[in-house]
Amino acid sequence: MFFSVFHFHCASLLFPFNHFPSLLLSAVHGLSSVPQCFFFYSSSLYSLPWEQQRHMILRPGLQLDPLAMPALIWPHQPLVRTRSSPASTSLPAADTQLQVIYNCVFPGLVYDGQMQKHQCTCGDNSRHPEHAGRIQSIWSRLHERGLRNHCERIRSRKATLEELQSVHSEKHVLLFGTNPLNRLKLDNRKLAGILSQRMFVMLPCGGVGVDIDTTWNELHTSAAARIAAGCVTDLALKVAQRELKNGFAVVRPPGHHATHSSPLGFCFFNSVAIAAKQLQQKLNVSKILIVDWDIHHGNGTQEAFYNDPSVLYISLHRYDGGNFFPGSGHPSEVGAGAGEGFNVNVGWTGGLHPPMGDAEYLAAFRTVVMPIAHEFSPDVVLVSAGFDAVEGHSSSLGGYKVTAKCFGFLTRQLMSLAGGRVVLALEGGHDLKAICDASEACVSALLGMEVSCVCARLLYTGVSTDLCCMLHLLITDCGFVCQVEPLSQSVLDQKPCENAVLSLQRVIRVQGEN
């Protein structure tokens, strides 16, 4: 359904990525400031013949001849039909968003060392790809690069049992959200029946898990999972209320595979889904976009909002005909009931022949993600930021070749939405260098700067580089110069592989039909 009316957003199909941000920035000031040609180019990609679709996907810098664009009358209703405007909202009005952005200087970071205690009782992290070293390494990298100094660290907390139950069943919450100590405060009669149903498996390493991959530590797992959910929730609430500019949550265990009543794939509680529910319930947020770029489909997040038209879920993942974990995420899974059309799966096919990389992910954002997201016009953007598509992961854990720089670039694209209210929450990713590089790139993007920067107007006055970076966030015309190489023009202009073209055409066709 989202390809019925792209408004001005489909210009992403027609302009190379290096021109796209400036066009989107002008749109923030209001539609009246957007050039008329921008509207003319906003016809749906779905309206084009099959071969012309291919041509546009393969040519990121292509500008179509306006006279060649077909005029169609669409058989279904535009997005205004959705019931997504509340009677009141605590979010700033659209015409005040730019002013508020510059009053709100700092991105937020959240981290808690207690999450490291969730580990297999075997004590051998080398046998478990999801281990404490993941978040410890990322947190250290952000410190080494000086990025933590430019962000505001918020206090961590455990999600309450009530918050967990906004997504998960009471049984699931009591099974996996309590430990021997806090169970003493709960109803023993209720707990006795539920705990007797808990099933564990013995792992080859000698430890205990809820399945062959998902380890369980009776003393620490429940606390770590609740802290992860609480951290993401509070970060999202603060960003939505403009207490923070945007944010990045360095958390574990991940969450996007956890369903209403089952843990799965290292996940116990779906932190991003819980945060979205709390935005709805506590702040009456009207429209939430969840972008999931973990290489594995977020089956739990899809399930949580499959019938909800106020949450748009877009996932980019390795699908391969359902043969890659968890096997869900076919493009035909578009939502149900009132939520039909609000679930978008970019399920890559073709295995690793060749592996998907920057060109393919840029094409997906250009032709699917950003046009749909702009049409939806979210109030807040949540990102399930798994980095297992970053080059460096084995074929069993991913095998793709997306660069860390590309994820920083995609983060900047998402910052053009929702007045910049973007929150990234760590999901998967197991190669330590890859996830550290990607986290660094994304936090740099959230800051509006690269890892190292100078302010041309201030350096010669003797002001420190750190202060220059801070002042850049306050002074929009400060002569800011990045010293870190962005994505090269050759990468931005690279054509996606044939398997990616076919995958994107399939998504476009399905969305056009719905």
Provide the β-strand partners of residue 312.
Answer: 289
Angle ∠(107,272,126) on CA atoms, nearest 5? 90
Angle at 70 between CA 69 and CA 72, to 5 degrees: 140
Quote the tokens at residue 514.
Answer: 């719905």
CA 192, 198, 203 angle in degrees (round to 5)? 145
CB 6 within 8 A of CB 42: yes
Cis check for the bond before 92: say yes or no (omega within 30 of 0): no
Is 297 designated active site? no
Report strand pairing: 152-153 vs 108-110.
parallel
Largest Cα–Cα separation, the chain: 73
Contacts of 455 (CB under 8 A, 6+ apart): 463, 468, 469, 471, 472, 478, 479, 480, 481
Whole-angstrom CA distances from 271 to 37, 249, 300 are: 41, 10, 10
Of the candidates 294, 324, 349, the residue with the CA atom closest to the CA atom of residue 498: 349
Task: Give, for 382, the enclosing helix (H) or strand (E).
Answer: strand 380-385
Token output for 59 = 């040519």
Tally the C-alpha atoms within 13 A of residue 64's C-alpha that lie toward its C-beta: 25
Would you put residue 483 in left (φ > 0), alpha (ψ -120 to 50) or beta? Answer: alpha
In one-letter notation, the amino acid at residue 65 is D
Beta bridge partners of 482: 453
Considering the candidates 257, 297, 317, 430, report the single residue annotated as catalytic. Answer: 257
CA distance 453 to 118: 37
Of 173, 274, 292, nearest in space to 229 by CA? 274
Q: Is 429 exposed, middle or buried (0-12, 13-18, 19+ CB in 10 A)?
A: buried
Alpha helices in 241-294 (DSSP H): 271-283
Residue 287, token pair as written in the block: 């429209």
Q: Which residues are catalytic?
A: 257
